[in-house]
Structure 1
Amino acid sequence: MEAINVLGISGSLRKASTNRGLLRWAQNCAPEGMQIETADLSEIPFFNADHQHDQAEAVLTLMHQAEGADALLLACPEYNYSLAPALKNALDWLSRAPDNHLLAGKPVAIMSSGGGQGGARAQYHLRQVCVYLNLHPLNKPEIFCHAFGSSFDPQGNLVDDKIQKQIRELLAALADWHGRIRR
């Protein structure tokens, strides 16, 4: 299997975030040949076109990570029925690279943890953003987790066997999707 470098981005900034917990689990169970690096969005300033060429070190780091990624794994919390501002902001910064070369054409897997419907509404908004950015989201499997039940420990780590299995399946599907897109 061809080596696949995946950049994981969580839209939540909290250390005990369950969305960050989903990414931590994905890193630990990545299939052979897949390496998952995670982005730190905590120091990314809000995008401002007046300063888009005057990038902060955290933005440059994110851009470097995206450039080296073959695929993206997005952990998308739901804020007020939509995707989290930190995730949207990161995608806005990345989209400003010449010809959108940091994002265009890359396969994407999406998962979320949240209240109510487990982030479903946010994921559907994120898929709309992916269309404009020419990203290629994987349709299935879909992962929607309830953040406030027994699926996570107090530190935000995933402890639910069923969801752990779903993430392994998602990563296997992402590897396959990457192979089909890159042909």
Structure 2
Amino acid sequence: MNTYRIAVFVGSIRRESLNRRLADALIRLAPADFTFYHLKIDDLPLYNQDDEEHPTEAMQRLRREIAEADGLMIVTPEYNRSIPGLLKNAIDHGSRPSGHNAWEGKPAGMIGVSPSACGTAMAQQHLRNILAVLDVPTMAQPEAFIGYYDGLFDEAGCIGLKSRDFLQNWMNRFAAWVRLHARRVSE
């Protein structure tokens, strides 16, 4: 049986991040042939083209961990109707130097939770635009713009009953997306 390694990007580093909780709860819904690892992105320097010739260990680690992934799960909040700077900084580091795009061909799914009524719709739209230029095949459906509510997570940190079927469907579709596109990349 193939095992699919999924790099998890959480766009928030807040201790009580709803998006980290969502990522961890989604991982529990994944099929047995999927493994997940969180990428550390909070130690990356601000992207500066001058640093490309002498990348830091954090920059090298990020590129290495992206290369090892069969797919990407991006779980992001929405800041000012867009993606957090932390996430954009990591994307920029992984796409450079020119001609060495670590993201290329990596199938991705995106999801996010926010206290606002529109969830993370605008952040995800901006992220789709960025990933398209980087040649990242991004799952289009089901869209998941989660507005936080009491009960989204149960006492054990799993997805609560009200949203479990929807988010299980999201995970099933994500797994199918990765299986479809990861095979193409490895052939």
Considering the TM-score relative to the shorter chain, is it more than 0.5?
A: yes
| Number of residue equivalences | 180
Runs of 4 or more off by more than 6 Å in structure 1? Answer: none
Q: Which amino acid aligns with 1:180?
A: L
Query: 1:78: which partner in 2?
Result: 78
What's the TM-score once normalised by structure 2's chain length?
A: 0.86
| CA offset digits 1:30-53 (Å, max 9, x no partner) | 211001111122211111111123
Q: Which residue of structure 1 aligns with residue 102 of structure 2?
A: 102
**Which letter maps to 1:160?**
G
- Quote the offset at 1:59 in angstroms: 2.2
Provide the rounded CA distance (Å) in 2 between the counterparts of 1:162 and 1:11.
25
Superposition map of 1:143-158 within 5 A: 143-147=144-148, 149-152=149-152, 157=157
Aligned to 1:45: 45
Task: Provide the identity percentage.
Answer: 28
Give the corresponding residue for 2:4: 4
Partner SS state of residue 73, structure 1: strand
- Which structure shows the bigger proportion of residues in strand conformation? 1
* Post-superposition offset of 1:170: 2.1
SS at match of 1:134: coil
Give me the CA root mean square deviation: 2.1
Could you tell me whether the CA contact under 8 Å between 1:71 and 1:178 is conserved in 2?
yes
Separation (CA, whole Å) in 2 of partners of 1:13 and 1:70:
24
List gaps (5 residues or longer) in structure 2: none
Structure 1: gaps spanning 5 or more residues? none
> Compared with structure 1, are the counterparts of its residues 52 and 146 closer, same or farther at alpha carbon in structure 2 (3 Å cutoff)?
same
One-letter amino acid of the counterpart of residue 112, structure 1: G
Indicate how the Cα distance of structure 1 residues 116 and 100 shifts in structure 2: closer, same or farther if over 3 A, else same.
farther
> Matches of 1:70 and 1:81 in 2, distance apart?
29
